[in-house]
Structure 1
Amino acid sequence: MNDGSPERAPRVLLADDHGMIREGLRLMLETHGVEVIGEAADGAAAIRNAAALRPDVVLMDLRMPGVDGVAATQRIVADGLADVLVLTSFDEDELVFSAIRAGAAGFLLKTTEAAALADAVRRVAAGEGVLDPRVTRTAFAALAEAGGADSQPAPEGLEYLTAREREVLDALGEGLSNAAIANRLHISIATVKTHVSSVLVKLGAESRTHAAALARRGL
């Protein structure tokens, strides 16, 4: 509940092997009120710095030397060090699916504008997922072309979802926020959160994005 005090700025760790990209991300985020508390040039450094600094969100590149972004995401999420928001491009479909399984809380394209990036960071820091539909559209299309979508069995637990939970799951697949889901289904945000938690448990999903990916196999 908001007690009238100013909202604390999310604390972010930047993980990318290109210094100029980190500098640009820092400028974009800090201009929009997000606090950047550290940087990492590879996955191993991202893990160490996340453990030392305990950011709210790690903004993660997937292709880095040594320990890549997928492995770093898995370790950071498994150890409960931070939530991970992945920045990706259209040619990283296989890595996107690996990062989903690793528990990343959100995915955005690297071309995302500053205001949208800062908003996504705030949403992930608040416990929501962020899923750019353009990312999943291309990733799922690539999976289908490779035969993966048809060869995968429907996820266990999908049949146990209630009708309302299935509606919530469909909305997660569209990348909607809790507030947007609440508005669409005419329910409270607290009720949305309850449904999301139930969906994750029933599907055995690591995150909202993982649940959305699993659901595609059952459509």
Structure 2
Amino acid sequence: MAGWATRRDARSTPSADQPGPATPQPTDEALARRAGLGDRDAFAVIVTRYGPALYRFVSRVLDEPADAEDALQETFIDAWKGLSGFRGDAALQTWLFTLARRRCYAHLKRFPRSGSRPHVNLDDVTDRIPARDADPAGLQLGQDLVAALDTALRTLPPRQRSVWILRQIEDFTYADIATVMAISPDAVRGLLERARATLAITLKEWR
């Protein structure tokens, strides 16, 4: 019996060289529930989990990096205040993007865009650009294409740009985009088609 117990313990107890089982990550629903009850650690996980994607979105909708940072901060303030009433009618990610969209559009109403070309960083969409040969000429073409896409996106009206970003960069479904934008899925399709048509014309030299 003692020998059997020894063998069983050896099998069930991880050795120092073997990693133990990974700690399961809390679900969005659990985090939202805990944060809604005032758990700041749970809210910090939400910020870490969705902050980068939200910043990608607001930084492409708004003209200036400082405005995007303000919108992101305001979005998370709204989230912290609103999580106590969050009932999960939409996914947490969708709800957060809805808050971000509202903040961006409120800012655009208060501060209309100037005619100057704003700064934008599109590094995160380069993987969606057709591949180029890894040579100096190809790399230069790739950089030029990113710059061209940068300019083309800035020509789109805010709603078209928002829908394009949510679909092409964040890979949202049409239903989730409709929720974020507070429009119908058919309206999403229409905005996306117009955005793609405009970008196709603007970037026709790259086709």
Q: TM-score, normalised by structure 1?
A: 0.26
Higher helix share: 2
More strand by share: 1
Choose 1 or 2 for highest CA Rg. Answer: 2
TM-score by length of 2: 0.27
